[in-house]
Amino acid sequence: DEWGGVCPLGEAIDTNALSLIVGPEGGFALRERERMIQQYGCMPVSLGVRVLRTETAAFYALAQIEAILTRLLRQPHENSTTD
């Protein structure tokens, strides 16, 4: 999200439920953003400092989500000990 004041994608990941909405290149209008947040519980996130084209942002976000989920889902196994 290019609006600022949003958390990084890695801090917003919920391993129980996840939907990805990629906006148009000009960004969502304020009304659209408010509606998605209020009606659907969406959480705007940032993919970083670069502004990406719509088609690039979708693939980039999916790659980031995959990397984050892989790391999160491996953590319990790495910290467990076997006797």
DSSP string, 39-78: HH----EE--SS---HHHHHHHHHHHHHHHHHHHHHHHHH
Sign, CA dihedral 41-47-48-49, equals negative
Chain-wide mean pLDDT for the chain?
Answer: 82
Which pLDDT does position 36 carry in this prediction? 93
pTM, to two decimals: 0.68
Average pLDDT over residues 16-30: 84
Helix-then-strand count for the chain, H and E: 3, 2
Radius of gyration for the alpha carbons in the chain, expressed in angstroms and rounded = 15
Q: What percent of the chain has pLDDT over 70?
A: 83
**Residue 76: pLDDT over 70:** no
Residue 36 vs residue 14, higher pLDDT: 36
Amino acid identity at 49:
V
Residues present in the chain in total: 83
Strand-pairing partners, residue 45, are 7
